[in-house]
Amino acid sequence: MSKFAIICVDDEQAMLDSLEIELNQVLESKYLIETASDAEEALTLFEELREEGYEIPLVIADYIMPNMKGDELLRRVHTLSNQTLKIMLTGQATLEAMAYAIKYANLYRYIAKPLESADFQLTIKEALNSYLQTQQLQQFYAELEAKVVERTKELHEKNAQLIALNQDKNEFLGIAAHDLKNPLSAIQGLSDIIARNFDNLSKEKIVNYSNMIYISSRKMFELIKNLLDVNRIESGKITVNLEPVNLVAVAKELADSYQERSKAKNITIHFQATEARYMALLDRNVIYQVLDNLISNAVKYTYQGSNIYVNLSQNEKHAHCFIKDEGPGIAEQDLPKLFGKFTRLSTKPTGGEHSTGLGLFIVKKLVEAMSGDVWCESEIGKGSSFAIKFPLTTQTLPTFQQLTD
């Protein structure tokens, strides 16, 4: 709650006593009334009161005083607080002095001596009402300005979100136009060849064209699936059901399934886990999708005749899975945007495979949904290593040798 004080300044003690009596009749002890016998004392008092947390709505000063006259005192008060109202008492002030006070001190009113009680009290009431109304208006405008600033900030943020969404939409349309057009054209062309030349085509040719149609359809399916996953993630529709899942079993199943698929590039997948069970808090379907994506990427970006390593380990709190390829590696400038949406890297798949630029974005979102973490370490010419970690459950873990005996 605000504290208010009024300062009266006059070099005649009788006048100060009279002012204090009149003010007490008007204010009924709601304001602290302080007096000073000269301008210097008044300025010191003004500063002390403000340091103590007082608002000073009114200063009443005589014009004729030793050392510093009232008009100069009120000018100085105005420089300290332009909201404080100033009243000058005068019986001898010139028009020039009045004009000076009005111009430089923003004088509220001047009152002639000797005081006329009713007029003085009415002036004080009007002055204090004016001060309080001004304060209320300033508070109202300050709150209104704060609301406008906050609303403007919200609108800027929403506008930025709309711009980002529009960019995503344009990116989506660009991908749909480019990445779907090529495999769709291949499917249409190949199926037309088979339909028009079926009687003249060998079984080997038909099988070859059918395989090409299948590959093109897989590219389209992968892109559409990724786009649907992105939409599901960004619309907040992704849900995970965390339960104890053996990360070793999921990773080994996927590594084994990719052994056959990687034969086309003569790639060998090596699996290693020091224990047979790392029980982490996971969603079984989601972790399968994450590891499937990472191992699939490793196959895409590993050179012919090279190796992929899927290694699992754990510490006291987390289970880790590292998937390392022997591909071209990732440029340093590409690493910060690696898990971004629609990312196109300078590194390309080693066998001309298709890449949507969405897989790692999906991986990161899914891993984070399971309270995990994912990162990549890579160097040009030395391959890439992707790592994920998840919280362990509190279970006694048998060794790999115990479970395989």
- For the chain, which domains are there? 3-142 (3.40.50.2300), 153-234 (1.10.287.130), 243-404 (3.30.565.10)
pLDDT at 90: 81
Average pLDDT over residues 210-227: 77
Is the pLDDT at 403 greater than 60, yes or no? no
> What is the C-alpha separation between 151 and 260, in angstroms, rounded?
58
pLDDT grade, residue 354 (50/70/90)? low
Confidence of residue 335 (pLDDT cuts 50, 70, 90): confident
Average pLDDT estimate for 10-19: 92
- For residue 351, pLDDT over 60 is answered with no
At 26, the pLDDT band (50, 70, 90 cuts) reads confident
**Of 381, 387, 391, 282, nearest in space to 339 by CA:** 387
Give the model's confidence band at 164: pLDDT under 50 very low, under 70 low, under 90 confident, else very high.
confident
Question: Which range, of 155-164, 245-254, 282-291, 353-362, averages the lowest pLDDT?
Answer: 353-362
pLDDT at 34: 93
CB-count burial class (<10 Å; 0-12, 13-18, 19+) for 62 = buried
The pLDDT of 342-357, averaged and rounded, is: 61
State the pLDDT at residue 8.
94
* Mean pLDDT computed over every residue of the chain: 83
275-302: per-residue pLDDT in tens?
A: 888 898 898 888 988 898 899 888 888 8
- The β-bridge partners of 115 are none
Answer whether residue 49 shows pLDDT above 50: yes
Q: Which of the four pLDDT bands, split at 50, 70 and 90, describes residue 274?
A: confident
Looking at per-residue pLDDT, the higher value among 89 and 215 belongs to 89
Instruction: Using the structure block, give the residue that is written with the tokens 């080994």.
Output: 252
Interval 68-81: pLDDT, tens: 988 899 989 999 99
Model confidence over 130-141: pLDDT tens digits? 888 988 888 888
Q: What is the pLDDT of residue 401?
A: 44
Taking the whole predicted model, whether its pTM rises above 0.85 is answered as no
Contact between residue 270 and residue 381 where contact means Cβ atoms under 8 Å apart: no
pLDDT at 29 over 80: no
Cα–Cα distance measured from residue 339 to residue 378, given in angstroms and rounded to the nearest whole number? 14
**354-359 mean pLDDT:** 64
Task: For the chain, give the secondary structure using H, E and C.
Answer: CCEEEEEEECCCHHHHHHHHHHHHHHHCCCCEEEEECCHHHHHHHHHHHHHCCEEEEEEEEECCCCCCCHHHHHHHHHHHCCCCEEEEEECCCCHHHHHHHHHHHCCCEEEECCCCHHHHHHHHHHHHHHHHHHHHHHHHHHHHHHHHHHHHHHHHHHHHHHHHHHHHHHHHHHHHHHHCHHHHHHHHHHHHHHHHHHHHCCHHHHHHHHHHHHHHHHHHHHHHHHHHHHHHHHCCCCCCCCEEEEHHHHHHHHHHHHHHHHHHHCCEEEEEECECCCEEEECHHHHHHHHHHHHHHHHHCCCCCCEEEEEEEECCCEEEEEEECCCCCCCHHHHHHCCCCCCCCCCCCCCCCCCCCCHHHHHHHHHHHCCCEEEEEECCCCCEEEEEEEEECCCCCCEHHHHHC
In this prediction, residue 84 carries a pLDDT of 92
pLDDT at 85: 92
* DSSP β-ladder status, 307-314 and 54-62: unpaired
